[in-house]
Structure 1
Amino acid sequence: MKGSLVSALAALVAVGDVAVATPMTPRDDALAYSPPHYPSPWMNPAAEDIKYAYDRARAFVSGLTLPEKVNLTTGVGWMGERCVGNTGSIPRLGMRGLCLQDGPVGIRFGDYNSVFPAGQLSAATWDRVLINKRARAMGEEAKGKGIDILLAPVAGPIGRIPAGGRNWEGFSPDPYLTGVGMAESARGIRSAGVIATAKHFVGNEQEHFRQAGEAQGQGFDIDESMSSNIDDKTMHELYMWPFADAVYAGVGAVMCSYQQVNNSYGCQNSKLLNGLLKDELGFQGFVMSDWQAQHTGVASAAAGLDMTMPGDTTFNSGDSFWGANLTLAVLNGTVPAWRLDDMALRIMTTVFNTGLEPPLPEINFSSWTLDTVGPIHASVGENVEVINQHVNVQSDHAPLIREVAAKGTVLLKNEGGVLPLNKPKFLAVIGEDAGPNPRGPNGCPDRGCDDGTLAMAWGSGTSNFPYLVTPDQALQAQALEDGTRYESILSNYQNAATRALVRQDNATTIVFVNADSGEGYIAVDENLGDRKNLTLWKGGDELIKNVTSECANTIVVIHSTGPVLLTEWYDNPNVTAILWAGVPGQESGNSITDVLYGRVSPGRTPFTWGRTLESYGTAILDKPNNGGGAPQDDFSEGVFIDYRHFDRATARNPDDADAAPIYEFGFGLSYTTFEYSDLQISGGAVREYTPTEGETIEAPVLSEDVSTDPADYQFPTDIRPIEQFLYPFLNSTDPEKASRDPKYGQTAEEFLPPGATDGSPQPLLRSSGQPGGNPQLWEVLFTVSVTITNTGDVEGDEVPQVYVSLGGDDEPVRVLRGFGRVTVPPGESVVFKTDLTRRDLSGWDVEVQDWVINEHEKTVWVGSSSRNLPLSATLEFDEGTYE
């Protein structure tokens, strides 16, 4: 076993809101600052939804030894066990280490599992039930592999920047739509008996500079990870909003992010973790670090981190900020016993609350090989045995995957009703994006290429395809069934052959194009995770122009990780239809065929399609701007991203063509037509808001008479240590030697902020109270109903959307506050209803530090997109509503 690290104990200085390891660039007082919030809140036994599990966990943790508690909190090291992350085990109680595994579209590194549509495409269904079903199916597959904690869903990035590399993993740049996605996904995963992880908390909006080491490897001269600088109002109303939904829905874990927030690292930022997440939102689960996002030991524990992943300071170093160092920190008092107890209690309460019971099911796969036999400890090749049982967990999920991807496909243009197709005489399919990757669907590690059809973007949020139905395959099968002549050219560069094919009489041509992105540790065509621009890849725009120069009936299908620029060709009369099919997963070809032939009603866009990159008002910070220190990314646009930005730009400059989007947020065509009528609003009898008052209980210490003698925590003689594997035991009875720190002996008061170790009862925040915040925020104040009539000839799905104008200075023109997806037969009507909560109608008051309904007039708008809202009404409140 290797020794412990300096930075876990002493050698710490207070910078910003937390203690951090030296050396560190001195804080520039001109830079954004994150205020301290200590101590780290302990669990609330009276919190909703956890009481039974809390009591069980308390009994369980009370019986643990100090090393056993530490083992729950510390990963065993990168590739130290079978999963991308494994905690230490408790052999005495028959509890193996918890298995943590990516990811957002399915099980990473596995086999015989499904690849689901991306979160972004599921949001484009605007269907709560489908989002929940998708998440439950993902949870079921994880459960079948022995995974305990699934690293999904994603609300960070939310999509502040349209070129952000990982936007596809999340849902939408609108916090309400993303919040629904987070809540339904948390419920769905948990219902399968797996712990859901809301990530990345918070402000992780681009890949450039998210990790200093990664950026240095790309040739950038920086010594600290970038800082996302976010004001208090924007934090609450935009970036925190979907995490609040996840907490309210009972999400078990939250992953903190790589970058800094207001110049304090996300995984040791006490304002974020202690103040906002655990105190204000009342989060009762546990906070885990992103992989290598922990930068300190004691300081991160004091700031609210509960589990470090994968455990080692850098991959395969054998060193940890926690592990033996956390044991030592509790022994010398720099980490209070109650803080470690709370870490363990949060983890075990979540375990029991999810229905997991020690002994946990066997982990039947390995992240590090698809071979049947291999080493359990892949980092050093130890313990070779059967590690992959090739368990097939796909079940009957393929039809669901196909349905989600189809119902999330957005029909942006359909001139003359060219779609749906009905046994066309001649179908020509053009473009590399219609066909297979020559290396196979899994031929590029972590999907780090853009060859063949784009059914999954790249990075840690990927999975191995069990198969991939390409558009070429599915459309050809449909053509054979219909007796349609079919030809395809699966290249973007066969210009002469393409023109010769599509100019033929009776040709209906479908052009497939794409734009890819992913995580920052992989670069594709010099795209460092984030997209360099919003143009189509591999000459896609030129391909479309080439086809439309010869074919008057050109249908364009776009697979992309977000918006692309359509300005040069979208209004070309020879472009008769445009569809966005996102990142659809394994049933890609079947899904797009279902939409093209009208078997499935399409969805609505979850983001705005602007005319230029600049028209979005936000951009990737792609050059360091702080003299070698942490790049500073000021979120100066506040809450005005995506449609909120475009709406404000249009209101300010109605004659500016770039201010108006090509296709607005929420837009999407149908194969039928709908009429909205009879808007009714009930409610308004609102009781006065009561801020939360009182104090917490005292921090519970669960184990009495614990020895503080280092001799009692030496490495056991009956265990053969595995190199690089992390243990909670000490390697010396001399604490200074065990820590390898010449400055060992500093007390917590010498390097931790005031109050960090205070376990006395703490005052409750007025905005807190239960998971999700003050319970009154979730009270229904109004119910909105509207009649929707199908005025066309075929059955179709409509997506009614409810927006609210909150009123006041420098507020968005309107914000989404309700939606649904309803199926309406031709000539018939349905009544759609949705509720408006106090939270929906409130704004964050930075002075009061609470949610407040202002006294400005509030208007409800209802329609089919953010700019097609034919019905509106003013909300009428009773007296006493306002703060």
Structure 2
Amino acid sequence: MTVLSEGKRKLTILGILFMMVLSFAVAPLSTSAEAFPWMNKDLSAKERAQLLVEAMTLEDKIDFITGNVNNYYGFYNEGLDKYGIPALQMADGPVGVRIANPEVQNKQSTALPSAIGLAATWNTETAEKYGDLIGNEAHNTTHNVMLGPGLDIARNAFGARNFESLGEDPYLQGQMATSYVNALQSNNVLVTAKHYLLNNQEKDRFTSDSQASERAINEIYARPFASVIENADLGSVMCSFNQVNSTYACENPDLLTDLLRDNLNFEGFVMSDYGANVSTANSINAGLDLETPGEPYGLWGDELQQAVADGQVKEETIDQSAYRILYQMFDKGLFDNPAQNNPIDIAAHGEIARQIAAETMVLLQNDNKTLPLNTDKLDSLAVIGPDADTASAAGGGSSLVNPTYTVSPLEGIKSRAGSDIQVDYAPGTDSISAGDILPGPNAVPSSFLLPQAGSNENGLQATYWSNKNMEGDPVFEHTAKQVNLNLGFYNYEGFNAQSSKLDSLPTSLNGMMSARYTGVINVPKSGDYTLSTTSYGSSKVYIDGNLVIDNAGEKLGTVEKTVSLEAGKNYDVKIEYKTDYKDATGNDNGGQLRFGWEASDNVVDKNIADAVELAKKSDAAVIVTRTYDSEGYVDRSDMELPNNQEQLIKEVAKVNKNVVVVNESGIAVKMGDWKDKVDSIVQAWYPGQEQGNAIADVLFGDVNPSGKLPVTFPVDEDSTPVNSEEQYPGVDEVTKYTEDIFVGYRGFEQDGIKPAFSFGHGLSYTEFGYKKLKTKVTRSNKAKDQAVEVTLNLKNTGDVTGSEVVQVYTGKLPTNTETAPKQLAGFEKVELKPGKTKKVTIKLDPKAFSYYDEAKNEWVTPTGNVPIYVGSSSSDIRLKGNVQISKNTSNYFNKKNNSGSTNENIISSNGSNKNTAKHEKASKKNKKDDQARR
């Protein structure tokens, strides 16, 4: 036996270990290639998906397409290790990555501006940056599916979820979403666009029947989805809770098969919103591919297995759904480039968030050129607003992101103002909360309430029970600043965007609960006051022991009572509330209660009075207002700024001539009582975690505002195309879209309704001149394609560099069919230095020259003369022209608009491939794409 030296022995052992490690590293690859042929990257995504489906058992395929995880760690679909299938690890969107797992980066990610704010940039390059950042953070926080963007049209001016939308116009939505989705999916993250379809209100969103014409569906509501499907290879679509034309969206063959698959040529998969599936055979036969967990879950799984056994569902239908999901997973890189848990670049991403936030802001009004603020002329500045000193810069609900850091408006303004300007703060009103979503009068201000006579703090003593009869030991007690309660969905961790100044109530109160509030009310002026409760569940108000309000609360509603109160006198007040509404069965609607009032304008509470005193001694005043918007069970009931903020603005404007209002909201707000009393108004939407710095950038002129409204701002709730109860919120849970195609600015012009601010409106610190409009139909001999182009000269006629969004609209089409007076056909954002001119060329959307013919079930382009309008908004038209649509152009547009009309099934009953020559060609292209991606 040969004896090795100690040194040689060590080297030999190391060599053996190295070979063992190398063999283990290589073996899985060769074994994988043999055992899992679908892991061969030389095959196309379609071929790989086909092989995998053929290898799976029926039971495994059903398990794969049935959602199985919905817990504290998030939403995902477990993978199948025996096939090497990774889990679908989903994160809520669309304004950032909502991390549910506390073990992943402390659940923190970059909180970007709201989607409605992104739409206000009218900049597809910005949408690309936005989507790329989200995709990067999703991939590096263990997620491979993002639930967003939201492509729901902002049909209702004060919809609670408008902040998640990309506006009221389908073309603008489609252009912005296409850039967003392309960039996001480039990070090996699959996008799920939502909510398909007609999910345009929160009121009765789980059960309502949205009834719209086929024309409105095709021209307005499905168009953003069509754009992203055609131009961004969309991976997935989420079907909504509501019914569409009396059939639930997730089992609606007209939507999922006829429109989505056959007309729009969608090759991705359809997943249900969480708990939106209401059937077994009907849903999968209609075109649903993935049932996600949530009440009433369990309708697939074993039930689907039995439906196949009973002949209600064909096995090839199961194959088709599994194939669609797997194809997208292969195509988007989920198999080959699994999600990681890597630290995100907080500073770099924060800077991007700041840049985007500044670009979202819309300068609505700037009388006397109060903006930008001139630091050379300011010695003092008042910052006022209920939450201007906090980080409340987001809408609530599933899109709420836990930010990596925050900058409040007060912090941002103070930092930018510098040490030479005295910046002081006053809240002006009580903080905004989820209670402000409820209808009815404003909550009674805290400054008029005391937990007991002589107390040094304001509010009422509040006691809460987790039962509806105030029995046993209470679960929580505190001094509530106001009685303004909205629990259930709005009180869960991660779903709450209320002010950090307010106490969070225990989640044990989110179901059945009761509460008692006691203390005194003391008013500064004698007179009549209209007290009220708005409640779902019974509420009673006692003044000095006398019952003055008895609200049965069987439905959410308001009961009022006018009482006479003497100035400076303490009146004992007791309010009792129970969740004893008729359908109370332990659900999570939770408590909904507000103790409100209506008082004379000359009754000014101490918070407002303090803000007025600060404004009086300041050179200028910046008032930061906000609304609370969130998905849930109700929309905003009106367009009012909640919690006495309107009174705050008017009182401050009486004592300071240089008032700037910065409004943070996802909706249009009513400004009729105060718009003409202030100089400047900035619509800041929900700006995200960098809100303070971005607001300061715009106010001080470091960034020239360039945002344009993606929605029309009405004068009030009734002055819109959607203004009847039948249209919203609906009668007997049926919502009729009788405005048809005349949504948003189309309807305002059609009905002759004058808005407060038009769609596309937005001012700048400079001016722009438009000249020399030319229109023409261009033709390419090589491709024989045709397009309508407009060219014009745009000049910056002002003194500072700025960006203008050139907007092009078509007018009424040459047909007897009624068409919109204007519809957006193209736009381009152009930056110019002072005095500079640029020739701008914009290619127009063929659908802007077409309408959807329900009888023919296709898009039709009429021949003849079409007006062309070019301007700075839908109402600020600078140039007019026209274009002649010939028969040849009409035929080409008809072909282009209807090109997505075939979508053959891939999987046959025995799992064999039924690709046509078209599919074989697509397969080869996908193979090249896969290789290029690697």
Residue 614 in 1 paired to residue 718 in 2?
yes
1:499-541: CA deviation from partner (whole Å, max 9, x where unpaired): 222112x5111111112211115xxxxxx3x101001011111
Give runs of aligned pairs for residues 827-846 of structure 1, distance below 5 A. 827-846=835-854
1:781 is matched with which residue: 763, 772, 787? 787
Tell me the secondary structure at the aligned position of residue 111 of structure 2.
coil
1:466-521: CA deviation from partner (whole Å, max 9, x where unpaired): 2221100111111225x1111111232512222222112x5111111112211115
Partner of 1:678: 772
Letter in 1 for 2:176: G
1:320-341: CA deviation from partner (whole Å, max 9, x where unpaired): 1111222333344321121111
Give runs of aligned pairs for residues 285-434 of structure 1, distance below 5 A. 285-310=268-293, 313-314=295-296, 320-357=298-335, 360-361=338-339, 391-392=343-344, 394=346, 396-423=348-375, 424-434=378-388
Closer/same/farther in 2, CA of residues 646 and 837 from structure 1, 3 Å limit: closer
Give runs of aligned pairs for residues 128-167 of structure 1, distance below 5 A. 128-156=124-152, 158-167=153-162
Bigger strand share: 2
Question: Structure 2 CA distance, aligned partners of 1:552 and 1:88?
Answer: 61
Q: Percent identity?
A: 32
1:852 is matched with which residue: 849, 860, 866? 860
Partner of 1:462: 400
RMSD: 2.3
Residue 92 in 1 paired to residue 103 in 2?
no
1:56-113: CA deviation from partner (whole Å, max 9, x where unpaired): 211222222222212321111421x8322x2232111233321112011112244231
Give runs of aligned pairs for residues 156-235 of structure 1, distance below 5 A. 156=152, 158-211=153-206, 225-235=207-217
1:121 is matched with which residue: 106, 114, 117? 117
Partner of 1:435: 389
1:55 is matched with which residue: 39, 44, 47? 47
Question: Structure 2 CA distance, aligned partners of 1:626 and 1:256?
Answer: 21
Give runs of aligned pairs for residues 269-668 of structure 1, distance below 5 A. 269-310=252-293, 313-314=295-296, 320-357=298-335, 360-361=338-339, 391-392=343-344, 394=346, 396-423=348-375, 424-436=378-390, 441=391, 453=392, 455-481=393-419, 483-492=420-429, 494-504=607-617, 507-521=619-633, 528=634, 530-572=635-677, 575-602=678-705, 603-619=707-723, 631-650=733-752, 659-668=753-762
* Conservation of the 8 A alpha-carbon contact between 1:675 and 1:790: yes
* Conservation of the 8 A alpha-carbon contact between 1:57 and 1:348: yes
Closer/same/farther in 2, CA of residues 624 and 681 from structure 1, 3 Å limit: closer
* Conservation of the 8 A alpha-carbon contact between 2:366 and 2:681: yes
Question: Structure 2 CA distance, aligned partners of 1:347 and 1:879?
Answer: 42
1:622 positional shift: 9.7
Closer/same/farther in 2, CA of residues 290 and 685 from structure 1, 3 Å limit: same
Closer/same/farther in 2, CA of residues 623 and 421 from structure 1, 3 Å limit: closer
Partner of 2:901: none
Letter in 2 for 1:614: D
Tell me the secondary structure at the aligned position of residue 330 of structure 1.
helix
Closer/same/farther in 2, CA of residues 621 and 92 from structure 1, 3 Å limit: farther
Closer/same/farther in 2, CA of residues 785 and 511 from structure 1, 3 Å limit: same
Tell me the secondary structure at the aligned position of residue 198 of structure 1.
strand
* Conservation of the 8 A alpha-carbon contact between 1:72 and 1:97: no
2:242 is matched with which residue: 241, 247, 259? 259
Question: Structure 2 CA distance, aligned partners of 1:662 and 1:632?
Answer: 29
Give runs of aligned pairs for residues 55-74 of structure 1, distance below 5 A. 55-74=47-66
Closer/same/farther in 2, CA of residues 183 and 361 from structure 1, 3 Å limit: closer
Letter in 1 for 2:305: T
Residue 83 in 1 paired to residue 74 in 2?
yes
Closer/same/farther in 2, CA of residues 51 and 415 from structure 1, 3 Å limit: farther
* Conservation of the 8 A alpha-carbon contact between 1:313 and 1:321: no
Tell me the secondary structure at the aligned position of residue 203 of structure 1.
coil
Tell me the secondary structure at the aligned position of residue 784 of structure 1.
strand
Question: Structure 1 CA distance, aligned partners of 2:413 and 2:820?
Answer: 43
1:358 positional shift: 5.3
Partner of 1:707: none
1:352 positional shift: 1.3
1:338-371: CA deviation from partner (whole Å, max 9, x where unpaired): 1111111111111111122258346x5xxxxxxx
* Conservation of the 8 A alpha-carbon contact between 2:203 and 2:729: no
Question: Structure 2 CA distance, aligned partners of 1:93 and 1:358?
Answer: 14
Question: Structure 1 CA distance, aligned partners of 2:626 and 2:862?
Answer: 44
* Conservation of the 8 A alpha-carbon contact between 2:778 and 2:789: no
1:153 positional shift: 0.5
Max Rg structure: 2
Letter in 1 for 2:608: N
Provide the aligned length of Structure 1 versus Structure 2. Answer: 661
* Conservation of the 8 A alpha-carbon contact between 1:683 and 1:781: yes
1:276-323: CA deviation from partner (whole Å, max 9, x where unpaired): 00111000000000010000011101000000112x543xxxx61111
Tell me the secondary structure at the aligned position of residue 885 of structure 2.
coil
TM-score by length of 1: 0.72
* Conservation of the 8 A alpha-carbon contact between 1:686 and 1:881: no
Closer/same/farther in 2, CA of residues 624 and 159 from structure 1, 3 Å limit: closer
Question: Structure 1 CA distance, aligned partners of 2:56 and 2:406?
Answer: 47
Question: Structure 2 CA distance, aligned partners of 1:393 and 1:320?
Answer: 40
Closer/same/farther in 2, CA of residues 874 and 581 from structure 1, 3 Å limit: same
Closer/same/farther in 2, CA of residues 402 and 300 from structure 1, 3 Å limit: same
Closer/same/farther in 2, CA of residues 88 and 109 from structure 1, 3 Å limit: closer
Question: Structure 2 CA distance, aligned partners of 1:556 and 1:154?
Answer: 28
1:877 is matched with which residue: 882, 885, 899? 885
Residue 799 in 1 paired to residue 805 in 2?
yes
* Conservation of the 8 A alpha-carbon contact between 1:145 and 1:393: no
* Conservation of the 8 A alpha-carbon contact between 1:684 and 1:876: no
Question: Structure 1 CA distance, aligned partners of 2:611 and 2:806?
Answer: 41
| Unmatched segments (≥5 aa) in structure 1 | 1-49, 212-224, 365-389, 442-452, 522-527, 651-658, 688-774
Residue 242 in 1 paired to residue 224 in 2?
yes
Question: Structure 2 CA distance, aligned partners of 1:166 and 1:620?
Answer: 20
Letter in 1 for 2:158: A
Partner of 1:386: none
Partner of 1:379: none
1:587-615: CA deviation from partner (whole Å, max 9, x where unpaired): 00111111111111221111112111100
* Conservation of the 8 A alpha-carbon contact between 1:208 and 1:622: no
| Unmatched segments (≥5 aa) in structure 2 | 1-41, 101-106, 430-604, 892-934
1:130-179: CA deviation from partner (whole Å, max 9, x where unpaired): 011101101111101111110000112x1110111111101101111111
Question: Structure 1 CA distance, aligned partners of 2:277 and 2:869?
Answer: 45
Letter in 2 for 1:327: Q
Tell me the secondary structure at the aligned position of residue 433 of structure 1.
coil
* Conservation of the 8 A alpha-carbon contact between 1:686 and 1:880: no
Question: Structure 2 CA distance, aligned partners of 1:115 and 1:625?
Answer: 31
Letter in 2 for 1:676: Y
Tell me the secondary structure at the aligned position of residue 210 of structure 2.
strand
